[in-house]
Amino acid sequence: MMIPPLAQGFSRTRPLPQTIFTPINLILFSLFLILLYLRLRPSKPPAATLPVPPPPTVFKTFTPPTLLPYNGTANMPVYLAVRGRVFDVTPGRNFYGPGGPYQNFAGRDASRGLACGSFDADMLTEDLEGPLDKLEDLGGEEMEALRGWEERFTEKYLVVGKLVPVGHAEAGE
C-alpha cells in the first residue's frame, strides 16, 4: 500500500521537545495552572464580624429637671419615668421622641398620663422643682392600667435609673 506524499510528511514528523518546551509555552502553561488553581481552590469562609456592643448603661438617679433633657432632641436618648423608674425608650423613638404620639412624656414622669390614658400635656407635673406626683387620687382601674404600662415598659425597655424629687438625699445636687 502506498501512502500519499502529503500524508507521508505528517507521519514522519513528530514535534521535537525543543519546539514544545519553548519559554513562551512554559509561561502560558504556568499561567493556565495558576488560573486553574485560583478557580478550583476552596473558598475561605467569610470572616465573622462581631457586632459592636452598645455602651454600658449606668444606673443613675434623676430629678425632674435632670430628666428633662432626655427627650430625644439634640441626639439625646429618650427617657421617661413610670412610678419612679426611669426607662430608656430610645428604641421606640418613633413613639416617644419628637413628633411621636407620646412625645409629651419624653424626659418626664409619664405615670399620670399613662394611668389616665391621656397623652395631653396637662397630665404632666408643671412644677419640676416641686414634689413628685404621688398618684394618690387615682382609682383602681387607673392604677391597674398604670401597672400594665409599667409591666410593658419593664419587658421592652431598660431601666436606667430612678426618679426622686429635687432636694432628695439621693439626688446628688
CATH number of the domain enclosing 108: 3.10.120.10
The number of folded domains in the chain is 1
Which DSSP symbol is given to 117?
A: T
User: Looking at the domain assignment, is residue 9 inside a domain?
Assistant: no
User: Looking at the domain assignment, is residue 48 inside a domain?
Assistant: no
Contact indicator for 123, 114 with CB cutoff of 8 Å: no
User: Looking at the domain assignment, is residue 43 inside a domain?
Assistant: no
CA distance 54 to 71: 20
* Exposure on the CB side of residue 73, measured as CA atoms within 13 A: 10
Domain that holds residue 122: 60-171
User: Looking at the domain assignment, is residue 119 inside a domain?
Assistant: yes
User: Looking at the domain assignment, is residue 107 inside a domain?
Assistant: yes
User: Looking at the domain assignment, is residue 67 inside a domain?
Assistant: yes
CA distance 145 to 83: 12
3-class SS of residue 170: helix
| DSSP E strand boundaries for the chain | 60-62, 79-82, 85-88, 158-163
Contact indicator for 63, 130 with CB cutoff of 8 Å: no
pLDDT at site 50:
84
- Each residue's pLDDT, cut to its tens digit, for the chain (173 residues) gives 565 655 555 556 676 777 778 889 889 999 999 999 888 888 777 777 888 887 788 899 999 999 999 999 998 999 999 999 999 999 999 999 999 999 999 999 999 999 999 988 888 888 899 999 999 999 999 999 999 999 999 999 999 999 999 988 887 65
pLDDT at site 157:
96
User: Looking at the domain assignment, is residue 71 inside a domain?
Assistant: yes
Contact indicator for 39, 77 with CB cutoff of 8 Å: no
User: Looking at the domain assignment, is residue 70 inside a domain?
Assistant: yes
In terms of pTM, does the model score above 0.85? no
